[in-house]
Structure 1
Amino acid sequence: MENVPGGTGFPLLAQRITVNPDYEAFIFRKFDRLSARNLLHLESRLVYLEYKLDQADKQAALGSDNETRRSIRAWEAFEQNSKDETRPEHDRMKMVEEVSERLKEYHETEHINENHVTWVTTTISTVVAAILLLGAIVLLRLLDQDNAQLGMIALFTVLFAGSVAVLTNARRTEIFAATAAYAAVLVVFVSSPSSNHEMGNCTCEVSIH
């Protein structure tokens, strides 16, 4: 391990985090609550800027200055007049530029949060799918009575249909097809072991002459 200048505090901690080639120690807080609060602040700021910009546009449209009215219809006039600090277009241009910056920041933050939500949803969907399939197989394997097996198949089929409807964007026809395929797998699983079980319990008489 190489020595880090000022090898204490953050420099030393950063070195120890990166010493593993697999970066297994790269575990950091996501600050979900602060991210949500930051989004709320950005949203509120954008609402306020939208209101101010609308009021400025209305004032320009009702004004008596032809050049000001032209600036709300032609970008060239708006851009040219905004260079004059004494004209109202100057303040409106500053608002437009701030709206652009805040919108970019807002969408970038929102995109990061959406990626996190997508990862969580995918993980939950994978776990639920495994539980519904493996759990149903294990329970059906333990049950011997036909009525109990049919009831368990019905229960897991309803749970599967509900999970597909909630955790995915599948259409009704897709939900129906997936549920039918899931139920068919369980029915086949139940029917196959029973036939094998009967074959295993059959007795054969061997006559020796």
Structure 2
Amino acid sequence: MNRTLQLGNRTTKPINGFPRVAQKLASDPDRTTTIFRRFDQLSSRNLLFLEAELAELEALQKRADEDDLRSTDRTTIECHSDWRKFEQYATEKDLNEDAVHPKQAERLNLALKIKERLSEYHEALAVHQVLLNAKAPAPTTVNAMRNWFLGGESGKIQPRPQLWGSSATMFDDPNDLVALRVPADQDRLSGFILNHFGRFFATDSNSDENSAHISERRLATVVAITSSILSAILLFGSITSLYFVHNPYAILGMLGGWTVLFAISVGWLTNAKRDSVFAATAAYSAVLVVFVSGNLGGVSPPSSVVLGN
């Protein structure tokens, strides 16, 4: 989405504030506007607190183990080998509801506290890892949502954000945002088409007077067709040009030029990884070399230039 194009359906205007923002986030049928803050700094601080607390509990556990290591008490020895005995001794109370074995009760409380904090720490780590590895929302979607959230499309002289207080900075830091769902294709070609030709993908559904819904399916179809056309041009364009060129040195230069152009196209217009770019480029250059080697263009290279078998 660009600044004035975003996803959503036309519905009854809700109450300003949280109801309206909630409707906006949920109005997109493709759910690409479900953007929220990750609170990276707070999450990291929370993990540090849990880690520090666990470090203190770990130190307490080590001191308790060192103390029990020097003990010759049969109860202590049994508690380190039999959980049922450990639990029995630790929870046993006298008539005054006091622990019969206070040391074992203390050990059990420590073990249960470690268990609780460790579970909380691991869960927080796993959730934070998932959020950090999640795909970032599309920049066009973030720009459109920020513009709407800050009232940039309201036409007022002094627009106000949809939420006040500290929530007014919700979309200020794009690096702290996470989208619960992102479009399947977020490559540079999709972004280019969306930024420059987004109006052609607008549908009749509209959540605001100044915004339009962008059909993700239509956009994906156009991107797929455009990619296919570009691939055909790179393949048949190179073969055609090589067919009409008879200078062997020019052919070598054209082979290098078309190969570089293909590699740049794959690397910049798609989300292909480096190994995929290398593999596709090698396959493309192999096709061109086979074409030239077959002498289909009627080229007879001199003895100093070997183009094939």
Q: TM-score, normalised by structure 1?
A: 0.58
Name 2:34's counterpart in structure 1: 26
Does residue 68 (structure 1) correspond to residue 69 (structure 2)? The answer is: no
Higher relative contact order (CA 8 A, sep 6+): 2
Aligned pairs for 1:177-192 within 5 A: 181-182=279-280, 184-191=282-289
What residue in structure 1 maps to residue 45 of structure 2? 37
Tell me what 2:252 maps to. Answer: 146
Whether the 8 Å CA contact 1:57–1:72 is kept in 2: the answer is no
Match of 1:92 among 65, 84, 107: 107
Residue 45 of structure 1, CA deviation: 1.9
Residue 54 (1) aligns with residue 69 (2): no
Asked whether the 8 Å contact 2:47–2:121 carries over to 1, the reply is yes
Quote the Cα distance in structure 2 between the aligned partners of 1:145 and 1:35.
58
Which has more helix, going by share of residues? 1
Measured against aligned partners, the alpha-carbon deviations of 1:137-178 in whole angstroms (never above 9, x if no partner) come to 97xx69x56268559969x7xxx9x944xxxxxxxxxxxxx8
Q: Structure 2 vs 1, CA of residues 147 and 9 (structure 1 numbering), >3 Å: closer, same or farther?
A: closer
Relative to structure 1, is the Cα distance of residues 182 and 3 closer, same or farther in structure 2, using a 3 angstrom cutoff? closer
| Aligned residue number for residue 113 of structure 1 | 128
Amino acid corresponding to residue 288 of structure 2 in structure 1: V
Q: For residues 25 and 180 of structure 1, what CA distance do their matches in structure 2 show?
A: 35
- Give a deviation string over 1:10-52, Cα, whole Å, max 9, x none: 2443244334444343110112232222222222222221111
Partner of 1:205: none
Closer, same or farther: CA 180–103 of 1 in aligned 2, 3 Å: same
Aligned-residue offset at 1:79: 0.7
Q: Residues of 2 paired with 1:83 and 1:188: CA distance?
A: 76
Contact 1:18 1:25 in 2 (8 A): yes
Question: SS of the residue aligned with 2:36?
Answer: coil
Distance 1:3 1:96, change over 3 A: farther
Q: Report the counterpart of residue 170 of structure 1 in structure 2.
A: none
Contact 2:80 2:86 in 1 (8 A): yes
1:179 and 1:10 map into 2 onto residues whose CA distance is 45
Say how many residue pairs are matched: 171
Q: Any unmatched runs of 5+ in structure 2? A: 1-10, 93-97, 137-185, 189-229, 242-249, 268-272, 300-309
Rounded Cα–Cα distance in structure 2 between residues aligned with 1:20 and 1:179? 34
- The answer to whether the 8 Å contact 1:49/1:95 transfers is yes
Distance 2:76 2:289 in 1: 81
8 Å contact kept, 2:50–2:117: yes
Q: Give the fraction of aligned pairs with identical amino acids, expressed as a percent.
A: 28
Gaps of 5+ in 1: 129-133, 165-177, 202-209
Distance apart, 1:74 and its partner CA: 1.3
| Letter of the structure 2 residue corresponding to residue 108 of structure 1 | E
Q: CA RMSD in A?
A: 4.6
